[in-house]
Amino acid sequence: MAESNNDFRYAVGPSKVPWYAVGEFYNGGDVKEFVKFLLPDTDKPGYADAYAKVCQDIEALAAVSGKAMKLTMGDKVNEAEAAAKETFGSKYAILTNCWTSGMEVAYKFSGLKAGDEVIMPAITFIATMAYPLHIGAKVVFADVDPVTLNLDPADVERKITPKTKMIVPVHLGGYPVDMDPIMELAKKHGLYVMEDCAHGMGGKYKGKYLGTIGHFGGFSLHEVKNITSMGEGGILLTDQDFAGKQFNSSRFLGLDASRQIKDWLYDIVSLRDRFGNVQIAGNYSITEIQALGLKLQMARLNDIIAQRRKAAEYTNAVLSQEDGILVEKQDTADTFGTHHLYLLRIDPAKVGGDIRQLEKKLKEKGLTNITHFGPMYRFQVMKDMGYNEDEIAATCPNTERMFYTAYTHLPIYNLTQEQVEYQANAVVEAVREMKAGK
Ligand SMILES: Cc1ncc(COP(=O)(O)O)c(C=O)c1O
């Protein structure tokens, strides 16, 4: 498995009765349904005729075409991984079935085990802490910076103990975490850093792509991220040779086709973490069609971010005119954010009400606004695992204040200019109503 992702099942050489004669392939009829799924039926005039024509053409094509016989872990995965390495300037890259899996692989390479502590922001998605919780590592929550909602490096420092093994910054909403102090702390205390860039694909910090600054980093390709691989997927990046060299087998059950046991096609190896300890590899394979979907969208990444940026800048310009609304932090010379979500903050004292009241008003005006991410320590699962939410809350005052009174997220991509304008004006209008006590 060292040179190719091929999962071995078709790689047994020429034969008259091929090994692939054990699975089913897709045919022309299936492809017609795929077309309809990806370009769905609308009420628009012309759809039925255009679709009927496409169906005819697909049937004609199917009559003379071959079949896609390699559906998972083949050339398309290789190509997308090569594109990821080149785009982000990373030495190693693997695609995984989702980013939660990619993080699991990175946690394993980092040697995280039961009883260790891992520091991450109090505001993120459950996925960031799923593996540490699963293995009985202790999740320690760093308070957030009230301007970006990213973890606050000063609080990370306060929370480091002799048991800390990792720091996991999350570039929330696509705004880059201040990585220098994080990497300095990691160096000083011998910690590993994994960047959760679920929202940060294409963003940069001091000229380096997010995901390439820590020891590990990577992206979610879930359907609501900056780009997708058919709805689910992840990319894990590293420059660490010990891990990169094991990437393929670590993502597919330890299979290693570069070595074989006697009379068999491959060996099965363990994942060796940074301390040389044995860890067991899982199966996080991704399909060829997902890899193809990713490669196509990755080529559009810069345009997508530019479109997001334009909408966010417009929104900032409108919202900045109203006292009490705090606009998104602009990029500095060191940062290039992706504008995955628009972070809307208010000063409740000036607005005369809190963010929940504003959310209600925005909903009445037809806006979708979701506080996408909440304090992780408030969930039932944490109580069940023995975490004391109030004790943790007392160590995260900004998280509490911001979540309960001051922020929400707005969508910012794939909107028409009219929608962007409507959204921004509706926020201003709602805030004015609150100020007027309406
Ligand atoms: C901050 C954050 N981390 C991790 C993930 C997990 O990504 P995936 O859904 O690809 O497993 C998400 C997905 O929403 C996320 O928002």
Tens-place pLDDT, residues 85-103: 999 999 999 999 999 999 9
Cβ–ligand 1 contact at 226 (below 6 Å): no
Structural domains of the chain ordered from first start = 28-64 (no CATH), 75-298 (3.40.640.10), 301-435 (3.90.1150.10)
CA 366 to CA 358: how far, in whole Å? Answer: 13
Buried b (16+ CB within 10 A) or exposed e, 398-426: bbbebbebbbbbbbbbebeeeebeebbeb
Distances (CA, A) of 49 to 30, 38, 52, 53, 55: 19, 17, 5, 6, 10
Q: What is the pLDDT of residue 371?
A: 74
Would you place residue 6 in the very low, low, confident or very high pLDDT band (cuts 50, 70, 90)?
Answer: low
Distances (CA, A) of 302 to 145, 227, 228, 406: 27, 11, 14, 31
The upper half-sphere exposure of residue 92, i.e. CA atoms within 13 Å in the direction of its Cβ, equals 22
Element (H, E) at 52: helix 47-64
Fill in the amino acid letter for 225.
K
DSSP code per residue over 29-43? HHHHHHHHHHS---S
pLDDT for residue 24 is more than 90: no
Would you place residue 2 in the very low, low, confident or very high pLDDT band (cuts 50, 70, 90)?
Answer: very low
Cβ–ligand 1 contact at 377 (below 6 Å): no
Token pair, residue 237, equals 């990046």
Which runs of E-coded beta strand occur in 270-376? 271-272, 278-279, 325-326, 335-336, 342-346
Which of left, alpha, beta for 136 (phi over 0: left; psi -120 to 50: alpha)? left
CA 2 to CA 348: how far, in whole Å? Answer: 56
369-415 pLDDT, tens digit per residue, is: 777 799 999 999 999 999 999 999 999 999 999 999 999 999 999 99
Question: Which residues does 345 contact at the CB level (< 8 Å), separation at least 6?
Answer: 146, 147, 325, 326, 402, 406, 407
Would you place residue 16 in the very low, low, confident or very high pLDDT band (cuts 50, 70, 90)?
Answer: confident
Buried b (16+ CB within 10 A) or exposed e, 41-61: eeeeeeeeeebeeebeebeee
Closest C-alpha residue for ligand 1 atom 8: 99
Select from 173, 218, 175 the least CA-distant residue to 197. 218
CA 416 to CA 30: how far, in whole Å? Answer: 33
Cβ–ligand 1 contact at 128 (below 6 Å): yes
Token pair, residue 24, equals 């089913």
Three-state DSSP at 227 gives coil
Range in 7-11, 135-139, 369-373 the model is least confident about: 7-11
Tell me, in angstroms, the distance from the centre of ligand 1 to residue 391's CA.
26
Ligand 1 mutation target, pool 100, 171, 197, most atoms within 8 A of CB: 100
Q: Could you give the percent of the chain with pLDDT greater than 70?
A: 96
Tell me, in angstroms, the distance from the centre of ligand 1 to residue 318's CA.
30
Average pLDDT of the chain to the nearest whole number? 94
| Strand-by-strand arrangement of the 216-220 sheet | 92-96, 234-238, 216-220, 192-196, 164-167, 117-121, 138-142
The 10 Å Cβ neighbour count of residue 332 is 10
